[in-house]
């Protein structure tokens, strides 16, 4: 079954999320390259996200689209990327999530993806 | 304590026979259906059928096999009606294969794996602790929902909700209901130990209850620890856990006086201690230690064994207890274990050596009434009465259990 691994970390802390122009950026990316290579047969999808300063929240009320600058909720750690993992059970998903580099500095939330039986 | 209930005494007999099989049938069906809630429902159906049929037909020779067969048939009916998709066909196939007469034998050795699987799932760390305790007691120990609600001081509907939430999380987040690899069992079992330990502690001093001891939960914890020892006989920590419970429980008759007031270990009437529990605990700990794989429960059991062995409080082998606490600190360096080490040092080497150790720990233990009470006692022994009074008052600010409060009030009044 599929699990989403949602990667949260403090995007304002340069030690945890270095600027792409800084020398610390390459080692962080290497961590993710290594993770991707190790679990290539388990990763169904995955993306990084631009920081929440780029977020736009969208709501439709009475047929009208309302946009707001910023993320849905202000939090100490922000969603910075995700993977969709193909795992046998929660224990396997937890074991893989623990190897995501930001698990060491932030929080990875693991959520099952429901199977609505489309096959 | 157990699940089915019947009004008349013949029904009671049948209910008793049946209830012994309840947890086993639930465990087997959970493993086959991969769904605890459904397993419980069809088991309940089978029990209802038993209560209806057995009074006239008599209790079958193998009640477990009878119940399991009926429950499997109900499960097949329900899945045919309700489920969809490929897993439906697979599950029905699996169940039908087990309806053949050769496959229905059920005895304790056959359900070992299933009961372990259920224990692992119900005490999975992805569940909140309160949900773990409720699920283990309900699904593995077979405690009824009303009894559970009473033990945890919440309403029956709140307890039922808690159980539903837990079962749903197990199902929807795919907490495994399969058997872990042999190599993983011992590491997984430590999580189970923790859950059972918490059940025991909840029964031992209920955090807010008026009674010092709530018997039911300590008894259930002991039953669960026995089950784990039977399921994994090679694990010394499981034996250590059961020994710890038995040795601690052996002193229960002396732990409170007739007014349910707390009596300290040193002041207890040792003739009231339960000698059969002590000797069983001693045998278990001796067997565990022979495997030479020490762990925190074995060490705590060994400390309790030394207390139980002492004919009088003065005979207590405090230097040995201090040594054991030193090794317990190596395994579990928590502030509370360090506090107990400091108390042991106050007995083996004197209060003057213990006080500085305790004072260094206090910032971490500020909110823990027992730490202030222990500090107060050490200050009394050093004849620093003014500070002792202040420490007792701090403990009284924090204590929630009524018999402990009475004890502290008396200690303060005596100063």
Query: To the nearest whole percent, how much of chain A has pLDDT over 70?
Result: 97
- Buried b / exposed e across A11-39, counting CB within 10 Å, b at 16+? beeeebbbeeeeeeeeebeeebeebeeeb
Q: Is B31 left (phi over 0), alpha (psi -120 to 50) or beta?
A: alpha
Residue-wise pLDDT for B288-310, tens only, equals: 999 999 999 999 999 999 999 99
Of A90, A111, A117, the CB nearest to B176: A90
Find how far residue B342's CA is from the centre of its chain.
27
Q: How large is the average pLDDT for residues B324-337?
A: 95
pLDDT, average across residues B372-389: 96
Alpha-carbon gap: B174 to the closest alpha carbon of chain A (Å): 5
Nearest chain A Cα to B169, which residue? A112
**Who has greater pLDDT, B103 or A7?**
A7
| Residues forming a β-bridge with A57 | A68
Cβ contact A114–B172 (<8 Å): yes
Measured between CA atoms, the residue of chain A closest to residue B34 is A89
Query: Taking Cα atoms as reference points, which of B135, B142, B160, B159 lies closest to residue B15?
Result: B142
Residues 41-100 of chain A with CB under 8 A from chain B are 87-91, 93-94
Report which DSSP code applies to B48: H
Does the structure show a pLDDT above 90 at B348? yes
Q: Give CA torsion, residues B52, B55, B56, B61, to 10 deg.
A: 100
Q: How confident is the model at residue B12 (pLDDT cuts 50, 70, 90)?
A: low
DSSP letter at B243?
Answer: H
Chain B hits for A119, CB-CB cut-off 8 Å, are 85-86
**How many angstroms separate the CA of residue A90 from the nearest CA in chain B?**
5
* CATH code for the structural domain at B332-415: 1.25.40.10
pLDDT-based confidence at residue B5 (cuts at 50, 70, 90) = very low
- Residue with tokens 């969603």, as numbered in its chain: A79
How many residues are given for chain A?
119
Position with higher pLDDT, B90 vs B353 = B353
Query: For chain A, how long is the longest CA-to-CA vector?
Result: 49
> What is the average per-residue pLDDT within A22-41?
95
Positions of E strands within B184-256: none
Q: Are strands A64-69 and A56-61 parallel, antiparallel or unpaired?
A: antiparallel
Instruction: Give, as one character, the DSSP assignment of residue A110.
Output: E
B178 interaction partners in chain A (CB closer than 8 Å): 89
With 70 as the cut, is the pLDDT of residue B100 above it? Answer: no
Question: Helix, strand, or coil here: B412?
Answer: helix
What's residue B305's pLDDT?
Answer: 97
Q: What domains sit in chain A, N to C, each tagged with a CATH number?
A: 2-112 (3.30.70.1060)
Q: Region B393-398: what's the mean pLDDT?
A: 94
pLDDT band at B19; cut points 50, 70, 90: low
pLDDT digits (tens, 9 = 90+) for A92-119: 999 999 999 999 999 999 999 998 865 5
ipTM above 0.85, yes or no: no
CB count within 10 Å of CB A57 equals 12
pLDDT tens, residue by residue, B105-162: 544 456 778 888 899 999 998 999 889 999 999 998 888 888 888 878 789 999 999 9
What angle do the packed helices B335-348 and B351-365 form, to 10 degrees? 170
């Amino acid at each position: 079954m599929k699990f989403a691994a949602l990667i949260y970390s403090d995007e304002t802390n340069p030690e945890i999320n270095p600027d792409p122009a800084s020398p610390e950026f390459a080692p962080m990316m290497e961590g993710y390259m290594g993770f991707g290579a190790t679990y290539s047969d388990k990763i169904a999808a995955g993306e990084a996200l631009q920081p929440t300063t780029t977020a736009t929240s969208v709501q439709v009320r009475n047929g009208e689209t309302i946009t707001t600058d910023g993320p849905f909720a202000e939090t100490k750690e922000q969603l910075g990327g995700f993977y969709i993992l193909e795992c046998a059970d929660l224990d396997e998903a937890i074991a893989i999530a623990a190897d995501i580099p930001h698990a060491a500095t932030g929080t990875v939330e693991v959520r099952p993806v429901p199977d609505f039986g489309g096959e | 304590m157990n699940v089915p209930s019947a009004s008349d005494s013949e029904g009671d007999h049948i209910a008793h026979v049946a209830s012994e099989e309840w947890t086993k049938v639930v465990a087997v069906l959970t493993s086959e259906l991969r769904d605890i809630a459904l397993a419980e429902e069809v088991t309940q159906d089978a029990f209802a059928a038993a209560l209806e049929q057995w009074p006239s037909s008599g209790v079958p020779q193998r009640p477990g096999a009878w119940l399991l067969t009926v429950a499997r048939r109900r499960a097949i009916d329900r899945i045919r009606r309700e489920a969809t998709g490929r897993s439906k066909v697979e599950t029905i196939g699996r169940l039908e294969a087990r309806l053949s007469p050769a496959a229905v034998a059920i005895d304790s050795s056959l359900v070992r794996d299933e009961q372990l699987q259920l224990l692992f799932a119900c005490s999975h760390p992805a569940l909140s602790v309160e949900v773990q305790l409720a699920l283990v007691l309900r699904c593995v120990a077979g405690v009824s929902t009303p009894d559970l609600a009473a033990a945890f001081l919440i309403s029956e509907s709140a307890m039922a909700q808690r159980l539903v939430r837990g079962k749903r999380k197990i199902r929807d987040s795919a907490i495994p209901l399969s058997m872990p690899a042999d190599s993983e069992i011992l590491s997984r079992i430590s999580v189970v130990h923790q859950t059972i330990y918490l059940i025991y502690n909840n029964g031992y001093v209920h955090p807010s209850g008026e009674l010092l001891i709530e018997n039911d939960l300590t008894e259930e914890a002991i039953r669960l620890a026995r089950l784990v020892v039977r399921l994994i006989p090679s694990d010394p920590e499981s034996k250590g856990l059961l020994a710890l419970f038995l040795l601690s429980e052996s002193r229960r008759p002396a732990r409170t006086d007739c007014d349910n007031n707390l009596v300290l270990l040193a002041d207890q009437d040792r003739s009231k201690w339960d000698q059969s529990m002590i000797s069983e605990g001693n045998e278990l700990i001796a067997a565990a230690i022979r495997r030479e794989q020490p762990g925190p429960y074995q060490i705590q059991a060994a400390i309790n064994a030394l207390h139980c062995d002492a004919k009088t409080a003065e005979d207590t082998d405090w230097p040995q207890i201090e040594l054991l606490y030193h090794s317990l600190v190596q395994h579990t360096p928590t502030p509370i274990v360090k506090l107990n080490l400091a108390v042991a040092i106050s007995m083996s080497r004197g209060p003057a050596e213990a006080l500085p150790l305790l004072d260094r720990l206090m910032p971490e233990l500020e909110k823990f009434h027992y730490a202030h009470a222990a500090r107060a006692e050490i200050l009394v022994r050093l004849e620093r009465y003014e500070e002792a009074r202040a420490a007792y008052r701090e403990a009284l600010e924090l204590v929630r259990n009524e018999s402990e409060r009475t004890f502290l009030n008396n200690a303060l009044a005596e100063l």
